[in-house]
Structure 1
Amino acid sequence: MTSQTTVGSTSLSKEPGPAPVPPSGLRGHPWLTLFAVAIGVMMVTLDGTIVAVANPAIQKDLGASLADVQWITNGYLLALAVSLITAGKLGDRFGHRQTFLIGIAGFAVSSAAIGISGSVELVIGFRVAQGLFGALLMPAALGLLRATFPAEKLNMAIGIWGMVIGASTAAGPIVGGLLVEHVSWQSVFFINVPVGVIALVFGLVILVDHRAENAPRSFDVLGVLLLSGAMFSLIWALIKAAEWGWGDSRTALFLALSVLCFGLFALWETRVGEPLIPLGMFRSLPLSAGTVLMVLMAFAFMGGLFFVTFYLQNVHGMSPVDSGLHLLPLTGMMIVGSPLAGAAITKVGPRVPLVAGMVATAVACFGMARLTAGTGTLTMSLWFALLGLGLAPVMVGATEVIVGNAPLELSGVAGGLQQAAMQVGGSLGTAVLGAVMAGTVSDSFGDNWAGAGLPPLTPEQAELAEKGVQVGIAPVPPQAPEPVVRAITGVAHDTFVSGMSTAFTVAGVVAVLAAIVACFTKRGGHAGAGAGAAHI
């Protein structure tokens, strides 16, 4: 017997209907679908890390201010985070193949437009467009995998999908550094054009549109506006908290506005005929646990990793390319571990690998809290490798728990929910751990400075110095004698490492909480054979 949960007029079936007749030839083949999807995903994730390397060159070439450069990243992040769930719903309504192809084409065109832009305002504008098209692409990719692969192969497919994300994330700083150094900052964006063309061609030839029989027929416009307002207010508050301060009235205002919009959104979703997110989805404890787990994992991972790049470049004096190479143990273990995690989850279910993964992540965070200014490459690499090994099953398993426990007709919304949870968790981690770092530096910098026998600073000088120390920069005055340079550098680096240690300790505690949440996950209850099952 098939049991159902009804939300509004949307029926959430707990057993899928009969699988359609599988397509023949290349079109619709599951593994070729994965290949086509992976190319598009690679383009977006590569762009996520490659642009950070280009920001200094963009600032110099276009005469941009620091705030302008921050908007190159923040504009993209806001557009992506605000649009993900709505983009997933568009895929459920109009077809994931169409939204994926539009996302690919739009992302490539936006990248080319950035490359030929002559002002920072145009760069920011087209980065926002990149975020919007990237939001179309990512949930559609998961929706296509969910519809194409049968239950027993979905974990492996998501594992390979995670491997592609890890590989492209690892390649970003290295490829970006080489392109900026030997070609130009524009080439960082132009590289997306040929990749986008290849992804578009493969998508047109291979991808097949899958739509559930009870796919949504209308669109919840008011729900989109309320959810977008809530997500924008939340992400904006997290982005600006470091500048405004957590106790500032502006931060409180946007956080309160976010809570209000989320509340109105939840109320409206119980009344509309075809809601943007049927709240009955969250009656599934595993799906809710998977969403919370993704937020906590991203908090610990992205929030902690934010400081690692400053540690490698400003404390150890590495170039962007060298720092990217030193992070290869982390991303390399994610690349190797993701398909292995997919196989393990298929065999034993997600709960044990997820708990073990978050425990390993917690141990790695506590280990990185012990790093010092003089820690060698081998010790760093061991902790980075353990972190990557812990994250691999979580990326795969939490994604499968969220997407696999959603009905097929809501696979796009589930994919958007998974990506949105990562964006919120990453933004929250960066903001909160940034505040932890700032507080630790503020508390200890003055005492460390005085303890080194350095001359007193005025309040204005101390404030400027603390801001530099928060990212590992030593506030050395011009033409300072060598002993003074060594003393200031030692104080700055020791103070930064102390703040980083506290931040990683907090990240480790969050990872422990995530391990507890992982105990409530289980294999997707809605997984069934997709259209391409006979091809596997």
Structure 2
Amino acid sequence: MSQSVVLDKEAAPAAGGRLRGHPWLTLLTVAVGVMMVALDGTVVAIANPAIAKDLNASPSDIQWVTSGYLLALAVFLITAGKIGDRFGHKTTFLVGAVGFAATSAAIGFAGSIQQVILFRVLQGLFGALLQPAALGLLRGAFPTDKLNMAIGIWGGVIGASTAAGPIVGGLLVEHVNWESVFYINVPVGLIALVLGLLVLKDVRAENAAKSFDIPGIVLLSGAMFMLVWGIIKAPSWGWGDPLTLLFLGGALLALVFFAVWQKYAKEPLIPLSLFRSVPLSAGTLLMVLMAFAFFGGIFFVTFYLQNVHGMAPVDAGVHLLPMTGMMIVGAPVAGFLIGKVGPRIPIVGGMLLTTAAMIGMSTLDIHSGNGVMSLWFLLMGLGLSPVMVGATDVIVGNAPLELSGVAGGLQQAAMQVGGSLGTAVLGAVMASKVTSELPGKWQAVTGGPLPAGEQGELLKQGAQLGIAPQAGDLGPAATPEFARGVADAVHSSFVSGMGVAFVVAAVVALAAAGLGLLTRRGVNETGPSVHI
């Protein structure tokens, strides 16, 4: 994430005894605030199966718990950076922290999946306010020679929070309830608020924009909503259905209008001049494809671990540690390599490793052992590290100095949009495969067709999440052996769908590796700009 602030190098205060504006206390404050956002991303993935069961949510509803949050982040990140420049990063950060904590509490009190989705979208908007403001505050608090150290520590906190998410989420879901996953943000948000009021010194950019591109925000938000909604609903509506075509066509039309408007807007949301740089354009699309493959593929893994392998939530979190841990370890190594040889080789190599991991994940079945799963998780984490670091360097480094903050916001927005689209598209692929596989596997076990009507539809929806019916749901005559056979039929249908989804993700990852050949080290001197 990146947000530039235009300050004199001498303006940053030196570390001293004063509380307000103290560099290291500022780092502590913003780390506490942004930790909520980082933790939330992986905690919720572990809670999704419990949310689906408790609120009787369909697979597409659960996708929106993730997609709605990611989409709100993606659409609002660049605007949030401009809000910080205009009204001050301290105020923006405090509003983001309070809003994130408040919407987290609202999610815990929600009584329906629709309310959860609504508050998750609002949570994403407040999370978007937090991230660029945090970097702006660090930029103003630290002298230039200490800034990189501060950003490294801040990035480490985010990485550790991301890795801890599955463990924390697993413990809370298993020993308390899924609502506690969201309630935990309330005390963290209050700590960030108190520290912020006591410690933070306001920072705002010179020559900040005096107006906002409201039409651009509306057009881009509308385009992304129609695109993701159309993709999610396509399996139930049909890909050739007029409603599906209306939403997808409307998204394309809104994107065209958005691009045209950006040429004439006084303060465009995304200046199109950025894309005159081939490496920058390639880096942005690379981030979209990488996030598409990663977030879209990993969405199914928690359901696979919990519903197919029967793991408790905390065990599922532990099984994801090889991936998240390798991403933390791999990031500084990737930074060192990129500094020595440039971004192209590490990015291409990383995406090829990710492609191999995706292909490996597509071979998992209902009896795959822990060692095989850990190998593919580890390889995925190792492959993604140089891509995330390198693509950020390419995007921000190839942007003009005056647009480096916008470029950093574009990098994060590309990742969030890619993740949202990946979850939607691969979810649709998964649903289609499971729906076609389940009837045949059901008949092979039961000797009869899949039940018609509502019961059959519920079985299909459960299979798309890897949930097999319990023995008691199969009638009083059902034997344990019969129940196990039905469970195997449902689980193998789920795994078949997951395998196809990972094959598609592997193809997308391979395309991203090809795009990596177009990247190069930044050609514009961005000064002390910082980004994560």
Q: TM-score, normalised by structure 1?
A: 0.84
1:279 corresponds to 2:266: no
Q: 1:107 matched to which residue of 2?
A: 100
TM-superposed deviation, 1:384: 0.5
1:25 corresponds to 2:20: no
1:338 corresponds to 2:331: yes
**1:128 alignment partner AA:** V
Q: 2:489 matched to which residue of 1?
A: 491
Judge which range, 385-394 or 28-37, deviates more: 28-37
1:473 corresponds to 2:439: no
**1:468 alignment partner AA:** G
Q: 1:6 matched to which residue of 2?
A: none
TM-superposed deviation, 1:149: 8.4
Q: Which runs of 5+ in 1 are unaligned?
A: 1-15
Alignment partner of 2:364: what SS? coil
Q: 1:91 matched to which residue of 2?
A: 84
Q: 1:523 matched to which residue of 2?
A: 521
| Aligned pair partner of 2:74 in 76, 81, 101 | 81
| Number of aligned positions between the proteins | 516
Q: 1:7 matched to which residue of 2?
A: none
TM-superposed deviation, 1:302: 0.9
Give distance in 2, aligned partners of 1:459 and 1:64. Answer: 20
Cα gap change, 1:280/1:35 in structure 2, threshold over 3 Å: closer, same or farther?
A: farther
Judge which range, 105-114 or 426-435, deviates more: 105-114
Alignment partner of 2:258: what SS? helix
Q: 1:9 matched to which residue of 2?
A: none
Give distance in 2, aligned partners of 1:443 and 1:54. Answer: 28
Give distance in 1, aligned partners of 2:446 and 2:319. Answer: 35
Cα gap change, 1:42/1:246 in structure 2, threshold over 3 Å: closer, same or farther?
A: farther
Give distance in 1, aligned partners of 2:205 and 2:130. Answer: 19
Judge which range, 352-361 or 180-189, deviates more: 180-189
Give distance in 2, aligned partners of 1:444 and 1:64. Answer: 23
Contact 1:337 1:393 in 2 (8 A): yes
Give distance in 1, aligned partners of 2:346 and 2:23. Answer: 25
Pairing 1:380-419 to 2, within 5 Å after superposition: 380-419=373-412
TM-superposed deviation, 1:363: 0.9
TM-superposed deviation, 1:325: 1.0
**2:464 alignment partner AA:** Q
Pairing 1:43-58 to 2, within 5 Å after superposition: 43-54=36-47
Cα gap change, 1:364/1:262 in structure 2, threshold over 3 Å: closer, same or farther?
A: same
Deviations 1:127-153 (A, max 9, x none): 333222111112334555678889999
TM-superposed deviation, 1:371: 1.3
The percent identity for this pair of structures is: 65
Deviations 1:186-229 (A, max 9, x none): 43333223322343455556656555544423322222222222
| Aligned pair partner of 1:196 in 186, 189, 196 | 189
Q: TM-score, normalised by structure 2?
A: 0.84
Deviations 1:292-311 (A, max 9, x none): 11111111111111121121
**2:513 alignment partner AA:** A
TM-superposed deviation, 1:445: 3.2
Give distance in 2, aligned partners of 1:200 and 1:355. Answer: 42
Give distance in 2, aligned partners of 1:416 and 1:140. Answer: 11
| Aligned pair partner of 2:480 in 479, 482, 489 | 482
| Aligned pair partner of 1:167 in 160, 163, 178 | 160
Pairing 1:177-188 to 2, within 5 Å after superposition: 177-188=170-181
Q: 1:132 matched to which residue of 2?
A: 125
TM-superposed deviation, 1:337: 1.4
Contact 1:159 1:338 in 2 (8 A): no
Give distance in 2, aligned partners of 1:153 and 1:339. Answer: 17
Give distance in 2, aligned partners of 1:188 and 1:237. Answer: 30
**1:392 alignment partner AA:** S
TM-superposed deviation, 1:408: 4.7
Contact 2:404 2:526 in 1 (8 A): no
| Aligned pair partner of 1:444 in 437, 441, 451 | 437
Give distance in 1, aligned partners of 2:429 and 2:529. Answer: 49
Give distance in 1, aligned partners of 2:523 and 2:481. Answer: 65
Give distance in 1, aligned partners of 2:436 and 2:57. Answer: 29
Cα gap change, 1:72/1:497 in structure 2, threshold over 3 Å: closer, same or farther?
A: closer
Judge which range, 427-436 or 399-408, deviates more: 399-408
Q: 1:4 matched to which residue of 2?
A: none
Contact 1:92 1:409 in 2 (8 A): no
Give distance in 1, aligned partners of 2:224 and 2:251. Answer: 7
**1:259 alignment partner AA:** L
Q: 2:3 matched to which residue of 1?
A: none
1:248 corresponds to 2:238: no
- Looking at both structures, which has the greater relative contact order when contacts are Cα pairs under 8 Å and sequence separation is at least 6? 1
Q: Which runs of 5+ in 2 are unaligned?
A: 1-5
